[in-house]
Structure 1
């Protein structure tokens, strides 16, 4: 039987692939350690990044200025009840804030910086209720149209009451609204399901409009069909700015820098990714124990074995020992001896760094 050149090439590719897998499987275990990762001082790295010369500055300015011709259209679409979602390569912070400060001067604007690590959405909703109530009083549209229970909505601790107040439709002009600018609506402080649900409910309120930006390619996975088409009612705009993320990047740890809690967790997570899923799960047991027993020297080896065996992560003490050897070789775990003379396992990370590491593992 004859074999043509294409089939022979496919055969050779398959053969090389399986040979590579076989060699990889038969090789020695990884000897990488946290201390082997070459890192630099964070301030030095940020200073170097800040001094990188921006290329094609003239072309970029021309591109960004071309978006300004869209401002009247964006205002019109907000008035029609749409939300604006900006996507594309580069920071859109300056562009959106320029739009808000020049084209939305007749409206109140509240800014949410989604690139921050934590955001209190309830305080945002209270602030929106306060602003809208002041506008109602200023425009003398009060009391006949608004029910008594909403006379001071910002004193209520109920999100449902606050959102209901913002959704009241007894206003003369349909295009009267408060605009929320959300930089990085897919940021770490807003990425959870509860925050996105609250933002979607906010966006569906009669007197709220949202202008937001996204930078993660998987950001649309945060929303279901109802949220996209009914609540947020997005009008998508591709507005690449090619601008550096100078402000947003300040709040993210640099992977090549050291001396920070977040970075300690990040480097440990990098090492854990080279281990097997079972080894990662065993490490997770140890980390959870250490967080829940802060006053102890560490987790006894026998206790770790019992828990890991109950969760079907190890079948024998030999299997557990192989995981522990890897942990110690990578400097993820150290051994201590408690007051009873029993060997205990301890992860050499601060509490906040260990919590950060657990969140990295669970993602």
Structure 2
């Protein structure tokens, strides 16, 4: 049994093919931003409150506007592609664990099971949208998400092209035949054709994704769905302000886990500026680098409403321990809140923070 979320990585590495491990673990370029996410989070210090009279910590997350119908903690399972690479049940297993843990699960456009089957698990589901070259497919995906009962659309806005992920290039990484982009019209794609010195997944992204997506496209999407829109991949406060003007319900401050622009600032370093820019006009969530309950508390103290957790849950998926990992995270958060004198999440937002 793992003692921390980080333990799942070594457990997964022992059972996964090396190229699959690299696909999940790797970042873009020299992986500077990948490392920076952890360095920056570790530098955030908290001043605990004492004599607070707290007998128990309530980790429950209650959000208006229908995005979250109550969650056991301020955590969302991040949208992550091709989860059958890690386990034959892939998205179905992780979505089931999220439902049992009482947290939302974000379904990826590139999920390896159809979104309807994942949403049918029965928990709270969001649908993550990559903007495709075929706008008709975009509209169809959004309609399918609505019909399947998803409660929000998460538009990833930081992938005009895929970052150059050198581990995948060196491995000539390609998807195995039984792992497909199940939501797309032609699920067997360039992503399955290995070419020496190239990433087949990057080749598929280049052919399928629209690089010139703009704010006008988001305005068009706003007219096509009544679901809340959450924009994932914002670091600049000016973009956050524009998102609010567009009518976004939420913003995910994210550098895509260090997998897009290498040299981008850490997500946690960008958080305060975005929180100030939106001035409580929308939810702000933090993604990239979260590895513990203390990290969740750090994010809340800096003004985030919640966090997205990605890689640690993929590592747990590889060893059939998704539920265990989510319960471990909830326990860590409760412990951190007790030690900081926080009875509930609102109290966490009043903690004083510093930098080591």
TM-score (norm 2): 0.26
Decide which structure has the larger Cα Rg and report it: 1
Higher relative contact order (CA 8 A, sep 6+): 2
TM-score (norm 1): 0.26
Higher helix share: 1
